[in-house]
Structure 1
Amino acid sequence: MKAKYPGNVSEFIIQGFCDTPECQLPLFVLFLIIYLFIITGNLIIIFSILFNSNLHRPMYKFLQNLSLIDIYFTSNILPALLHLLITKQNKISFFWCMTQLYLYMSLAFSEYILLTAMSYDRYVAICDPFHYIARMSKKHCAWLISTSYCAGFVGSVGHVVLVSKLSYCKSHVIEHFFCDLIPLLKLSCSDTFNVEILTYVIGTSLSFNFFLFTLISYIFIISTILKIAVHTWTSKAFSTCASHLTCVIILYMTYSVCMPIKAFNPKKDQCVTVLYIILIPIFNPVIYTLKNEDFKDSLRNLMLKFALMIPVNYTEKV
């Protein structure tokens, strides 16, 4: 006998992308390649920073944790989607649906805070370099990273608790490829006003504040860079900041958590969410490492170490 949860529902049905068998296999192959690329790229960043003591600096610690979040973020959704595409089993239990929603919101929230902390790190490094060591010490860096995780995972509890207490009597079919907030609210026959207010107030206010803080930081950063006459240092500073700013712009362009329920369009939201889930974890490794000479050197050294570890068998000629 299946356990009953609040709302008299024990499981949901994930609609996915398409019902025709012709598109299931191509989508499975495509998302599998994307997932493997995301995992590989972000693991390379993590281990390259981990095994190079020269990269044990705040900026790279933030980047390492950003890659970690990207791995968890995509692993929360893509493996379940791959399973759905290959097995056609599109049912998900109420418990795992709420778990997926909680992890999705928590990790997304943590990523916003972490990117904001990275903008603060760049601001201090460029605008106040003489106090950088004091203001971005190991203790302060660890505190910012811990706050990103704690705020994300604690701040999402209220949303999930309220959503889990709703009654789902309209339908059990989620018009999405995972358990997202707005599609779940559309299925509820309860009053969703409290959840919507909590989502809009917290989501809009926090995202706006994070974006405003990042924007102000970069106004000061660009202003400081333009005043510096040393061309080589200016070029390096622009390169470092441009990487972070590009990721921030992509993140906010695909932001759709605060969308009103009435404005929800399943097909459109699926496309935006795919961009959000895939683009950021793919671009983070590429953007941050493409013009970073320190990281390129670390990657070459890491590859050399692994190459030296591989035993070579020589056959003697008789």
Structure 2
Amino acid sequence: MSMSGANQSSVSEFLLLEFSTQPQQQQLLFMLFLNMYLATVLGNLLIILAISTDSCLHTPMYFFLSNLSFMDVCFTSTTAPKVLANHILRSQTISFPGCLTQMYFFILFGDMDNFLLAVMSYDQFVAVCHPLHYTTKMTHQLCALLVAGSWVIASLNALLHTLLKARLSFCADNMIPHFFCDLTPLLKLSCSDTHLNEMMIHTEVALITITRFVCILVSYLCITCAVLGIPSTKGTWKAFSTCGSHLAVVSLFYGTIFAVYLSSSSSHSAEKDIAAAVMYTVVSPMLNPFIYSLRNKDLEGALRKVIGRKFST
């Protein structure tokens, strides 16, 4: 259905959904959301600071981990501050340009998280399956190229979806059944033809997200086969504990994303989508520093040095 330019400009802002209509629950959820956001920022910044200040951690694995921590801070910051500000200002509105901007950075940093998880699985694969060639394969140039390439693809993908969304018309209904401007909820409000947008979403999920997820699975299948062939029980346990943290992060991140974007639209509800979105936009980035520092003596030591230095001053 084609709409006129006047209709497109009739919606200058959108209304985001509140977590709860009851004031007491709103206060509780606000404090919970605020604490999770602060824990996410503090935890990931500590990881970045520990890795950057400890020369022993200047390796490809920790280089990718520091980039992942930075992306987690950016990813959470695309949605959480707006939610908190809306609660304080008692306003759920977001302008049309602001909505597109939020969506662009949400896709950008979400894609970067996806790419970095795939790159880190490849790094683990080379370290476990080809340990003798690790230093020659995972060079500084290759690591920088992998991150830079991820930035380029993620930026282009985010720009494509944002431009496709900008061409749509939005008429009377401006209530987004979500706490941020996500792709699918925003599409449902459009009164113009959204087939191209939907096709691009499904294509992106099939070609990029699922492909990266399959690469991670294949990498860890090879890692598992290699680890099971280690004669030493201690060596097997050490290898599994090193890879286990990455697998936990991957499972948490992809599990909630697939629950939202790959389930049928008929099974979607605002409550389920919001709960799943909170998991991968706030909870997963908050837990990542704890997961990666758990049973990692090198990182634990670097974190103790950083925290001890702060308290001593």
TM-score by length of 1: 0.92
In structure 2, the partner of 1:72 is: 74
In structure 2, the partner of 1:278 is: 282
Counterparts of 1:99-248 in structure 2 under 5 Å? 99-248=101-250
SS in structure 2 of the partner of residue 13 of structure 1: strand
State yes or no: 1:288 paired with 2:292: yes
In structure 2, the partner of 1:32 is: 34
Larger mean CA deviation between 297-306 and 157-166 belongs to: 297-306
Deviation at 1:129, TM superposition (A): 0.9
Deviation at 1:20, TM superposition (A): 3.0
Deviation at 1:227, TM superposition (A): 1.0
State yes or no: 1:21 paired with 2:36: no
Counterparts of 1:33-72 in structure 2 under 5 Å? 33-72=35-74
Alignment equivalent of 2:308, drawn from 301, 304, 309: 304
The amino acid across from 1:31 in the alignment is: F
Give yes or no for contact 1:70–1:281 (8 Å, CA) kept in 2. Answer: yes
The amino acid across from 1:65 in the alignment is: N
Summarize deviations over 1:126-158 as a string: whole Å, max 9, x none.
101111111101110111111222211211211
Give yes or no for contact 1:13–1:173 (8 Å, CA) kept in 2. Answer: yes
In structure 2, the partner of 1:315 is: none
Gaps of 5+ in 2: 1-5
Give yes or no for contact 1:7–1:165 (8 Å, CA) kept in 2. Answer: no
Distance 2:226 2:7 in 1: 56
Deviation at 1:50, TM superposition (A): 0.6
In structure 1, the partner of 2:14 is: 12
Gaps of 5+ in 1: 311-318
TM-score by length of 2: 0.93
- Bigger Rg over Cα: 1
Distance 1:270 1:192 in 2: 23
Deviation at 1:260, TM superposition (A): 5.1
Deviation at 1:261, TM superposition (A): 4.6
Summarize deviations over 1:53-110 as a string: whole Å, max 9, x none.
0000000011101110110011111111011122211111111100111111111111
Give yes or no for contact 1:127–1:221 (8 Å, CA) kept in 2. Answer: yes
Summarize deviations over 1:193-222 as a string: whole Å, max 9, x none.
100010011112322211111111111111
Larger mean CA deviation between 225-234 and 286-295 belongs to: 225-234
Distance 2:283 2:28 in 1: 19
Distance 2:178 2:206 in 1: 23
Distance 2:198 2:256 in 1: 19
In structure 1, the partner of 2:268 is: 264
RMSD, matched Cα:
1.6
Structure with the bigger RCO (C-alpha within 8 Å, sep 6+) is 2
The amino acid across from 1:184 in the alignment is: L
Distance 1:211 1:94 in 2: 33
Distance 2:181 2:49 in 1: 32
Larger mean CA deviation between 84-93 and 42-51 belongs to: 84-93
Distance 1:281 1:30 in 2: 15
Deviation at 1:165, TM superposition (A): 1.1
Distance 1:33 1:276 in 2: 16
In structure 1, the partner of 2:3 is: none
